[in-house]
């Protein structure tokens, strides 16, 4: 009976492992399949400040505060983004990586995976909304004098991590077939923090696999040659 039980456990473990492998294989195929660069973009965003409107117990550690209450803090941040459209040029998944000097002047970063939906398009102008999950990392604040312990962060050596979410409203100005300028309101590049970003978007490809049949769409970037 003991041998049978061990064999059953071994089979179950193999099945579970295979399910995990299959899941990751599917994700990789979806993300990096042969058409992964069809209707896809690269983007760089920059923001110089973080806005902290909520009460934070360690706000007294905000080193580069602009106002006395530490609501506006200098937090220079660069964000790199990759988008792949799943439906026309309106719905996409995206991955984002950001690195910054945080409110306590410590190095910090985040990894984001989410989705993005275009809400409105008028001539060269579009408005989109994005949302997804974040993994935050920062050099540990526990070494800073007068730091109040925050158990929402998990320590790992000299760094600490936590999970959260991020949401964004983005305005894009279509310049031509390959280039856009963007402005956005972003919540969550750091926990409980808002910011404004200025960005540049480059279209790796503006050709989609299954374009909408909309007749004439001069600014939708769904045809082989986008001619405004």
Reported pTM? 0.76
Q: Output phi, psi for 110, to 5 deg.
A: -150, 150
Distance CA(77)–CA(70), nearest Å, equals 18
Distances in Å between the alpha carbon of 128 and those of 103, 136, 137?
Answer: 28, 24, 27
Which residues are registered as beta bridge partners of 51? Answer: 72, 194
Distance CA(134)–CA(193), nearest Å, equals 13
Distance CA(112)–CA(109), nearest Å, equals 10
End-to-end CA distance of the chain: 74
Burial (CB count within 10 angstroms: exposed 0-12, middle 13-18, buried 19+), residue 190: buried
- Residue 89: predicted pLDDT: 80
Phi-psi region of 39 (alpha: psi -120 to 50; beta: other; left: phi over 0): left
- Residue 16: predicted pLDDT: 43
**Residue labelled with tokens 């060269």:** 124
- Residue 38: predicted pLDDT: 61
Which CATH fold would you assign to the domain 35-205?
Porin (2.40.160)
Taking only the tens place, the pLDDT of each residue in 170-212 is 999 999 889 999 999 999 999 999 999 999 999 997 665 545 5
Measure the CA angle with vertex 188, ends 114 and 73; round to 5°: 150
Q: Which residues of the chain have pLDDT under 50?
A: 1-29, 31-34, 210, 214-216, 218, 223-228
Structure tokens, 43: 């983007």
- Residue 14: predicted pLDDT: 36
Distance CA(175)–CA(178), nearest Å, equals 8
Q: How far is CA 128 from the centre of its chain?
A: 14
Domain boundaries, the chain: 1-33, 35-205
Alpha helices in 60-104 (DSSP H): none
**Spatial contact of 99 and 77, defined as CB atoms under 8 Å apart:** yes
């Amino acid at each position: 009976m003991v041998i049978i039980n061990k064999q059953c456990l071994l089979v179950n473990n193999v099945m579970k492992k295979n399910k995990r492998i299959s899941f990751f294989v599917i994700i990789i195929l979806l993300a990096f399949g042969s058409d992964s660069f069809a209707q896809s973009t690269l983007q760089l965003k920059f923001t110089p400040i973080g806005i902290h409107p909520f009460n934070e117990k360690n706000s007294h550690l905000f080193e580069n505060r602009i106002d006395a209450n530490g609501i506006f803090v200098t937090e220079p941040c660069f964000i790199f983004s990759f988008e792949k459209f799943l439906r026309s040029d309106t719905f996409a998944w995206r991955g984002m990586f950001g690195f910054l000097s945080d409110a306590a002047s410590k190095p910090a970063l985040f990894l984001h995976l989410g989705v993005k939906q275009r809400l409105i398009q008028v001539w060269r102008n579009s408005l989109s909304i994005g949302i997804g999950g974040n993994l935050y990392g920062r050099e540990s604040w526990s070494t800073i004098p007068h730091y109040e312990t925050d158990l929402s962060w998990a320590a790992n050596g000299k760094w600490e991590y936590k999970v959260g979410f991020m949401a964004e409203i983005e305005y894009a100005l279509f310049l031509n077939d390959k280039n856009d300028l963007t402005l956005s309101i972003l919540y969550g590049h750091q926990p409980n923090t808002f910011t404004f970003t200025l960005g540049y978007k480059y279209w790796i490809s503006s050709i989609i696999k299954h374009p909408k049949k909309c007749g004439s769409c001069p600014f939708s970037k769904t045809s082989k040659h986008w001619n405004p």
